[in-house]
Structure formats: structure tokens, C-alpha cells
Amino acid sequence: MELLLFLFILKLCSSASTIAPPTQTTTPSPYQPNWNSLDKRLLPEWFDKVKVGIFIHWGVYSVPSISSEWFWIDWKGNPSPNKKAQELINKFMKRNYKPGFTYQDFAKDFTAEFYNATEWVEIIKKSGAKYVVLTSKHHEGFALWPSDYSYSWNSMDVGPQRDIIGELRQAVLKDGSIRFGLYHSLYEWFHPLYISDKKNNFTTQNFVNNKIFPEMKELVLHYKPDIFWSDGEWEAGSEYWRSEEFLSWLYDESPVKDTVVVNDRWGHDTLCKHGGYFTCSDRYNPGTLQAHKWENAMSLDKNSWGFVRTSRAKDYLYASELIATLIKTVACGGNILINVGPTKDGIIAPIFEERLTQLGQWLKVNGEAIYESYPWEVCQNDTTTPDIWYTSKDNATTVYTLMLHWPHNNVLYLACPEISRSSSLTMLGVDDEKLQATVTAKKMLKISLPDKVKVKTDWAWTIKITNVKIP
């Protein structure tokens, strides 16, 4: 009797659903959860225009702040991925901490008492950067927000007792001139669910289903980032991480579906191949024009992404090196993401601030050659004179020549650009002076540069050439 009734109700329900008029679910969603479909999405246009971003690595590793942000695994990994770092850390721990002190014990000293997101935004803006990417959670698993999926291992439960992400996002939005992005590590070195999935050769997905997948959605729904910068993907395939499913949700249904930009770190099968823009490797800077949009993620401290107290002046890039890296990157179609590591108390150290300020001073004068520029297809660097890089605008009729060195006798020879009668040549920042140019017997363009005392910036200089001949 009960069974019959049940069957009857079931019949009613199924017939009701077949009669029901089509709802929005019948509209095919544009992106299917497979790379073939996802890779067809065009990158939102804003990303290519802005060129310069700031990367921020901040977490519990910022408390010991020696060695690098890989402190925990270098110390406790079995085997350690970095034996030299392990020796250094063992010595440091023995000398400064009681036996039995754990990595987790550092979290209470992640105090952030001077963390003022408004000041961070001021520093970021002074650099000329147009976006920021903060580590929401690095490989240690510590969440910089009160996550429902990270009990007692997040910045609200222990340490700062603040919503670090929320505060930065608030300050970024209030300012209104930079885009807000989040970095997120898929794997967590010591998460028990991850370790057991890994033991099962990733045939089980308890870590992804119960932690990572809902956590990524939580991040997107709460903080609406315009960049989702994924990392820590390499030990397992994108199928294990459910990356295709996540991205189809992100592109189709999420609150940032029209603006969000992602990278290529979604599984060991995706780097430099699938996703949004390509990062390929840390500090990727190929020096040749790339067909696909890419980003050079690099760090001002050459040896670490997290803050390291023992770093010396020589460990940081000089402004000249930073600007040269930016120029080469943009000339080849990349964006640059420049990393700083704040201290545990929330300070972006003056050495970082100084470098970023120098970059901003340079961009104030030379930004016209960088922002919203395109690589020049004819040449990315000059074929004859070294350390000359090009960018372009106006359908390649305007070419910017970026010099990393000031040439001998104030005379520059270029093999690539061909000028026309209506071309004009000026140096950015030297407003009222047209530069004289002639073509040599060897078809080189010979440009007389302005007197160097009139030039406003050091480090690199831009000659703008209009009405260039299209070859």
C-alpha cells in the first residue's frame, strides 16, 4: 500500500516535471566544465591594459621570517625539499625556541598590529601598479580570512584576529583605482585529508570535496576578486582538483563572471597550457613575443616571496633591474606582478616601498609606453643595438623605443623602425624638443638624443616615434 502510494507520487512528480515549461536551466551555459570550452573564453580586456600589479605574500611564515615562505615544509618535510634550508632552520630553532615548539605556535605571534590597508594601498598606488594580488592562503594552509573551512587556522581565530582580506579589499574599493585579486594555494603540505588523498594516488577527493572546492567558492562569493591566482597544483591533475568545474562556475555563475581573470595553475596538466593567462614558471620572462597573454610573477627579494629578516640590500632588485624586467616583459606581451613580503606586524618595509616608489616615478614619465600598449610585432628588441625594447600604440603607427642604457655621444642607432616624412621623434619627459633623425647608408636610424641634464628620470628612457612606416 505504502509502496503503491509512493510510486503514484513519484509518477505525479515525474509527469509534472515533463509538463513544466522550460526554465532558465534549459539555456545552455556558455562554458562547459572542460578545457576545450573554458580555453575559448576571452580574457577580460582590462587585464592586458594595466600591465603592472603588486603581489603580496603574507602568512605565518612572516613570523619566523627566515629562509623563505617554505619554512614549514623545509623544516618538517620528510624528506625536506631543501636540505640546506632545513639545516639553517634547525639551527635557528635550537638557538631561539624551546624544544617542542611547533610551526603552529608561530601563529599567535602573527600580530599585524601595524597592518593598515589604507597605507598599503597608498604604497601600491605610488608604484603605478593597477592591480594587487594577496595570498589568501599559501601552502601552509593558514587562511587570511575567517574561513568556514579552516577551523582555528585562520587570521580571525588565531594571530591578528582580523579579516585581513576583507580590510584590504575595503581599502582597494574605497580608493577605486586598482583591481583586487587573490592568490590561493590548492595544496596544503600537512593537511591530513590532502595527505590521505595523496596516499591513495589521488583516487579519493576528500580534501577537494570537503575543503578546497567550497573554500574557493567562499572566497569568490565573499570577496569578489577580479583575479583568482591559483597555485600549488603540481602534485595532482586538474581532474582531482575539480578545476574545470570550478572555472565553469566562475565564468558562468559567479558574481565576478564578467570581470574575473585567472592564471594557468590548475593541475599538473595545465601550466602554460590551460586556463586564463599563462605564468609558466616563477619569474617567467621569455624575451620573445608570446601568442598567449602571460604574466611575469617575480619578487623584489630575489630569494624569497615571504619577508626574510636576514636579507641584505644585495638580495633585493635595484630599481634599474626592476624597470628593465618590466620593459622586457611588456615588450613581449606580458604583465608584471611584483612581489613584496610584509613583516609579521603588517609593515611593508621601506626597501620595498622605495623600489616601488622609484618604479612609480619612472612610470609617471614613461607610463605612456607601458599602459595600454601593445607589443610591436616587427621587433620586440632591436636587432642590432642591444638593450633596446619596443612597444606600440595606434595600430603600430606609434612606436616607443625603450633604452636601458644611455648611448655613447648621445647618439642612438636603431635597425627596426622606418620613419616617414611625417614622423616626429620625442623623448618622454622632455616635452618641447623634437629629436633629429637621419637614415645612415646602412639603413640605420640615427637619432640625436637630448642633453642628458634635461632628462627627468634615471634607469631607462623612451623615445616616441609617430607615423612609423608599416612594413
Ligand X SMILES: *[C@@H]1O[C@H](CO)[C@@H](O)[C@H](O)[C@H]1NC(C)=O
Residues that bind ligand X (CB under 6 A): 116, 118-119, 200-201, 287-288, 381-384, 386, 394-395
- In the bound state with ligand X, the residue whose beta carbon lies nearer, of 23 and 201, is 201
- In the bound state with ligand X, the residue whose beta carbon lies nearer, of 296 and 311, is 296
- In the bound state with ligand X, the residue whose beta carbon lies nearer, of 65 and 381, is 381
- In the bound state with ligand X, the residue whose beta carbon lies nearer, of 93 and 404, is 404
Closest distance of CB 123 from ligand X, Å: 11
- In the bound state with ligand X, the residue whose beta carbon lies nearer, of 108 and 174, is 174
Q: Cβ–Cβ contacts within 10 Å for residue 159, how many?
A: 23
The CB-nearest residue to ligand X is: 287
- What's 244's DSSP letter? H
Question: What is the DSSP annotation of 322-366?
Answer: HHHHHHHHHHTTEEEEEEE---TTS---HHHHHHHHHHHHHHHHH
- In the bound state with ligand X, the residue whose beta carbon lies nearer, of 162 and 257, is 162
- Angle between helix axes 164-175 and 213-223 (nearest 10 degrees) is 40
Cell 612609423 appears where? 468
Helix, strand, or coil here: 164?
helix
Degrees, nearest 5: CA angle 403-406-407: 105
Cell of 286: 621569455
Helix, strand, or coil here: 96?
helix
Closest distance of CB 156 from ligand X, Å: 18
Report how far residue 184's alpha carbon sits from residue 134's, in angstroms, rounded to the nearest whole number: 9
Report how far residue 235's alpha carbon sits from residue 233's, in angstroms, rounded to the nearest whole number: 6
- In the bound state with ligand X, the residue whose beta carbon lies nearer, of 60 and 134, is 134
Closest distance of CB 386 from ligand X, Å: 4
Closest distance of CB 16 from ligand X, Å: 45
Question: Which residues are registered as beta bridge partners of 392?
Answer: 374, 399
Closest distance of CB 378 from ligand X, Å: 13
Q: Cβ–Cβ contacts within 10 Å for residue 115, how many?
A: 22
Closest distance of CB 393 from ligand X, Å: 8
Closest distance of CB 45 from ligand X, Å: 15
